[in-house]
Structure 1
Amino acid sequence: MNSNMKTAFLYAGQGSQHKGMGEDLYRDFDEFKNVFDKTDLPFDLKKMCFEDPEEKLSKTKYTQPCMVAFAAGITAILNKNGVKPDYLAGLSLGEYSALQASGVWDAETAIKLAAFRGNAMTKAAEGVEAGMSAVMGLSRDELQKCVDEAQSEGVVSICNDNCPGQIVIGGEKKAVDKAAELAKENGAKRCMPLNVSGPFHTKFMSPAGEELKEYFKDIKFNDEQIPVVFNVTGSERSSEETVPELLEKQVQSGVKMTQTIEYLLDNGVRRFVEIGPGKALTGFVKRTAKEKQVEDIECITLETSESIKDYLEKIRSRRT
């Protein structure tokens, strides 16, 4: 590992959760265990993550606090070992974990915020026959034309610009299906329907944005101690912007992940540490770096006890 290489921690979003996540970390690391043991939720966090007995982990209102607790546990392990990045970012829900890692909130507050957000998004999705689809092989401008044309069938918009050649559209199912059909006609390599419970990052989530706006009034927001690159803008926060405003917009606006990764690359980041579960963000980084012809990148994924022990050992050997 090159000790002079700038590092970014990237926090995974909803969709990569799975039964058993964190069980080995809870067993092997006191810092992780402490986060889980101190978390007070209306359900058993350990049982939900480790066993998922009623198969509820994939439901938004459970997924979100579980994912943020998992991420906060890993952040606590890294902090204990003196491992800090130069930049932080996260995909959608992962942005809450990035802000927690930056010191904006403690772990307990971040997890409670995620639980509130998950509930608000679940309520906002009620009564909408929603669809989301990942479109491969079209540029954003090309796909936008298909989306505009499909508006005749209902509401559809670009909701995740993940990386060059992979963009997610979402909204009302009829309109999403029409946009996907048009995308294929216009050269898309593939359109993959996603199994989601709501039209996330579309205007249907504006009631969730309003709920968050009210909820944030009673939450203390500290200044970021490490720069965070935000989903809504694909850059750091300007002096005119506030974290609550950006998060209120985030839940109902498209996620600019491509622009986020480009910003990090342009600012000299070459080591990307994905804090999982999953490896989706690593794939996005590699695709974006390839498109920008940046070759000297290093990608690391931290999800298991073994991967974290290996990473910490490499850092220790680099420091000696």
Structure 2
Amino acid sequence: MRAFLFPGQGSQAVGMGAALAEASQAARDTFAEVDEALGQNLFRLMREGPEEELKLTENAQPAIMANSLAVFAALTKEGGVDFAKAANFVAGHSLGEYSALAAAGSFDLPTTAKLLKLRGQAMQRAVPVGQGAMAALLGADLELARRIAEAAARGEVCTVANDNDPTQVVLSGHKGAIDRVVEIAKEMGAKRAIPLPVSAPFHCPLMQPAAEAMRDALSYVMVGDPVVPVFANVTAQPESDPDTIRNLLVEQVTGMVRWRESVANMGEAGVEEFVELGGKVLGTMVKRILPDVKVTSVVSIEDLEALAKEIA
């Protein structure tokens, strides 16, 4: 069995998608369709930068999705891969869940781009710059991360945002609390805590205004039945019901990304091969969770052609 994975924020880089677009008409069409939907030359920003502008949440989120779905389009339209037959499950990390849902046919591409642009803007607006922060705990499991978060909170918000793999958990909340996390993490048993270069504290209760914005936006959107089940971030379970998917996307804004559990549960369901489209971050996490599975990262046209030859 095979699962396709779609990366989240942090996978953006100036130059992303440029070589793929040169080699693939389907990729070029994807980037053009996203640009048209947003009324923005996002692909030029992806190709040329500046990096500071690309890193802005409202740009990074649709850009990462566009890159993943350009790979997906080239694989399915030009590589001859029948996605419904090739995939048993899909999953995406945070914003990547939208990419996964688009690949599975629950959203069309313009809708996905607009939702992620709005999501990025709403997340940025939810907490004034400088008031929130995030830190990655290395050498810490979920239980230790929760103890560190509780000790650092001191009346402020400090919660687990991402349970990524057995050795990496991300905390999110008020800046003061996250500063305390960095101070106390080592003495509490973590290898170290690294402040993350993010502009807002994602996946914590401070994001509630953004969750309400997404609830409103998603209420107007048609959610189709996915052609394969989508493992949801907040349940770590396969979901296929459109109304459930809609509600879980709202919960996801403030909820913990249960990535470690999602991957482990896919493994228990029989998945032996994981294919990451448009990035190389999730594959590393997968190998820490399930060391014996096959992991393939598809970024370049060469990666894509090799995979298409294998599974088409």
Q: Contact conserved, 1:120 with 1:208, CA < 8 A, in 2?
A: yes
| 1:3 matched residue in structure 2 | none
- Secondary structure in structure 2 of the residue aligned to 1:192: strand
1:299 pairs with one of 287, 295, 302:
295
Q: CA deviation at 1:239?
A: 5.9
> Which stretches in structure 1 are left out of the alignment for 5+ residues?
1-5
| 1:75 matched residue in structure 2 | 72
Spell out, residue by residue over 1:6-50, the C-alpha distance to the aligned partner (whole angstroms, 9 max, x if none): 111110001110011111111111111111122222421221111
- Secondary structure in structure 2 of the residue aligned to 1:19: coil
- Secondary structure in structure 1 of the residue aligned to 2:230: coil
The one-letter code sitting in structure 1 at the alignment partner of 2:131 is E
| 2:153 matched residue in structure 1 | 151
Distance 1:104 1:74 in 2: 18
Instruction: Tell me, yes or no, if structure 1 residue 22 matches structure 2 residue 17.
Output: yes
Distance 2:129 2:25 in 1: 43
CA separation of 1:149/1:216 partners in 2, compared to 1, >3 Å: closer, same or farther? same
Q: CA deviation at 1:127?
A: 4.8
The one-letter code sitting in structure 2 at the alignment partner of 1:16 is S
Q: CA deviation at 1:98?
A: 0.4
Q: Contact conserved, 2:225 with 2:240, CA < 8 A, in 1?
A: no
- Secondary structure in structure 2 of the residue aligned to 1:187: coil
1:103 pairs with one of 95, 102, 105:
105
- Secondary structure in structure 1 of the residue aligned to 2:222: coil
> Which stretches in structure 2 are left out of the alignment for 5+ residues?
none
Distance 2:122 2:225 in 1: 25
| Structure 1 residues 1-320: aligned runs within 5 Å | 6-39=1-34, 40=36, 41-53=38-50, 55-80=52-77, 81-84=80-83, 85-152=87-154, 154-237=156-239, 242-277=244-279, 279-290=280-291, 295=292, 297-315=293-311
CA separation of 1:75/1:139 partners in 2, compared to 1, >3 Å: closer, same or farther? same
Distance 2:128 2:82 in 1: 42
Distance 1:132 1:150 in 2: 13
Q: CA deviation at 1:159?
A: 0.2
Percent identity, aligned pairs only, is: 35
Distance 1:234 1:250 in 2: 11
Count of matched residue positions in the alignment of Structure 1 and Structure 2: 305
Q: Which runs of 4+ in 1 moved over 3 A?
A: 238-241
Distance 2:155 2:10 in 1: 27
| TM-score, normalised relative to structure 1 | 0.91
- Secondary structure in structure 1 of the residue aligned to 2:52: coil
The one-letter code sitting in structure 1 at the alignment partner of 2:184 is L
The one-letter code sitting in structure 2 at the alignment partner of 1:301 is S
Distance 2:242 2:13 in 1: 39
